[in-house]
Amino acid sequence: MQNKPTNENEDIIVIENLRSQFGDNIVHDDLNLTIKRGRITGIVGGSGTGKSVLLRTMTGLKKPEAGSVKVLGAVPFNEAKGGGLARKWGVLFQDGALFSSLSVLDNIMLPMKEQLGIGKRFASELAYMKLFLVGLDEAVGQFMPSELSGGMRKRVALARALALDPDILFLDEPTAGLDPIAAAQFDELLLDLTHALGISVVMITHDLDSIFKICENVAVLADGQVIVVDKLEAVLRFDHAWVQEYFSGSRGRQIFGQHEKII
């Protein structure tokens, strides 16, 4: 797996004047967001602000009602199913979304066989490499998803997201459901992998520990828009009621104290 380009001035995701809606329910209205290469960007927001809808739009699973979305210079909804653009990103869904009827190894091999058309023997060798990357040994490849702990399922899902050597990782609540120790270990793994491999990360999260520990930029969804996207220290000073309540409440102050060196 080769290191990716790290030109931090490159805009890898550009969203302009986005409107997302379901029937009469408008989720995003005139939303704008630009994400730079080589960073871990956390997307946060209250319940119902459309964080997962935004992720689905960026990965071509939902067509916007208005506006434009470009990922690596291409329109994801037009190209994702064609294979070219979809090979350049990996997605880790909130629950891992592993196929329960397939072994761990088969889960990881699936995108390789579907997208690259390579044979089982070569795919299995690559899949074992991905398991090693996420800190799991070869024996885990023969397990079924039901035999894994929550932390192991997340790691296997991450290995599958890395299967095609992506430029971008899209993560939907990657530490949700994990105990604090497993969540901290996953954060460390993600930080090590992204820095070592030069992958850009877009992460939907509500986990304040993850935000303070690994997110280099934070985008806040509120009122149907991205109201601020900046480095964490700038977001903490942003004058908006939800932002201040979220980051400066008792939980936020506690975690801020633990990670004060960041600021």
Q: What is the pLDDT of residues 97-155, one digit of tens each?
A: 899 999 999 999 998 888 887 888 899 999 999 999 999 999 999 999 999 998 899 99
- Please report the beta strands in 23-85, taking only residues with DSSP state E, as ranges in sequence order: 25-36, 40-45, 66-71
Given a cut of 70, the residues of the chain with pLDDT beneath it are 1-8, 78-83, 249-263
What values do phi and psi take at 206, rounded to 5? -120, 5
The CA distance from 204 to 173, in Å, is 5
Which DSSP symbol is given to 169? Answer: E
* Alpha helix positions (H), 90-207: 104-111, 120-133, 150-161, 180-197
- 44 in Cβ contact with 243 (< 8 Å): no
Per-residue confidence (pLDDT) for residue 3, from 0 to 100 = 54
Per-residue confidence (pLDDT) for residue 6, from 0 to 100 = 54
- N-terminal to C-terminal alpha carbon distance within the chain: 33
Per-residue confidence (pLDDT) for residue 261, from 0 to 100 = 45
- 205 in Cβ contact with 42 (< 8 Å): yes
pTM, two decimal places = 0.88
**CB count in 10 Å sphere of residue 146:** 8
